[in-house]
């Protein structure tokens, strides 16, 4: 399938949000509370002339998607980038073309295409500063063989989800990294 066909197969942002079960509340919270800086308007005007579109590979259970996609949607709205969403797990043929480090099905993955359906760039799954936070958090987990590994991992994921929702520095890191990708 071509990227054009994948784009048309996807859900709209509203359809994606409507079907969310796990992180919908936090997703909407970030979307409603993140605003685009007015001084970036020239960038959005420039992006509008490129007539980009985007395909987002994601899953509702993904905390990174909960953080990144609402911020991306604000940028997409300002730049007039139509965006469609595909479930990673139901679209592995496409996902496997965009593996992180050539091996991981990390999401979200945003694929930017031009008006003819040709790829012009990708973004995801995380801004570098957020990746550093994740690496530091995971370094503190007990070994997988440890009796308390699963419990500690669950606690860590709860902590990360709360940090993604509440720490606006993470929002800014994502926004700046997305902007840099699109410049």
Stretch among 31-40, 84-93, 153-162 having the lowest mean pLDDT: 153-162
Residues whose CB falls within 8 Å of the CB of residue 41, separated by 6 or more in sequence, listed in order: 78
Place of tokens 């936070």: 133
CB 79 within 8 A of CB 41: no
User: Would you place residue 147 in the very low, low, confident or very high pLDDT band (cuts 50, 70, 90)?
Assistant: confident
Percent of the chain with pLDDT over 70: 100
| Res 68: pLDDT | 97
Domains of the chain: 3-126+168-182 (3.40.30.10)
User: Would you place residue 6 in the very low, low, confident or very high pLDDT band (cuts 50, 70, 90)?
Assistant: very high
Q: Which residues of 98-131 are buried (b: 16+ CB within 10 A; e: fewer)?
A: beeeeeebbbbbbbbbeeeeeeeeebbbbbeebe
Q: Indicate the pTM of the whole model.
A: 0.93
What's the CA gap between 134 and 143, in Å, rounded? 16
Residue 146 confidence (pLDDT) above 90: no
């Amino acid at each position: 399938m071509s990227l054009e066909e994948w784009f048309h197969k996807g859900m709209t942002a509203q359809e994606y949000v409507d079907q969310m079960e796990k992180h919908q509340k936090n997703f909407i919270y970030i979307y409603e509370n993140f605003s685009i800086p007015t001084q970036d308007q020239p960038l959005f005007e420039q992006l509008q002339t490129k007539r980009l579109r985007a395909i987002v590979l994601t899953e509702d259970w993904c905390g990174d998607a909960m953080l990144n996609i609402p911020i991306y949607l604000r940028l997409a709205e300002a730049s007039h980038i139509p965006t469609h969403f595909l479930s990673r797990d139901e679209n592995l043929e496409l996902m496997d073309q965009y593996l992180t480090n050539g091996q991981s099905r990390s999401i979200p993955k945003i694929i930017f295409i031009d008006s003819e359906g040709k790829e012009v760039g990708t973004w995801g799954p995380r801004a570098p500063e957020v990746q550093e936070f994740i690496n530091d958090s995971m370094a503190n987990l007990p070994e997988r063989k440890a009796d308390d590994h699963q419990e500690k991992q669950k606690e860590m994921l709860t902590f990360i989800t709360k940090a993604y929702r509440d720490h606006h520095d993470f929002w800014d890191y994502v926004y700046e990294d997305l902007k840099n990708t699109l410049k």
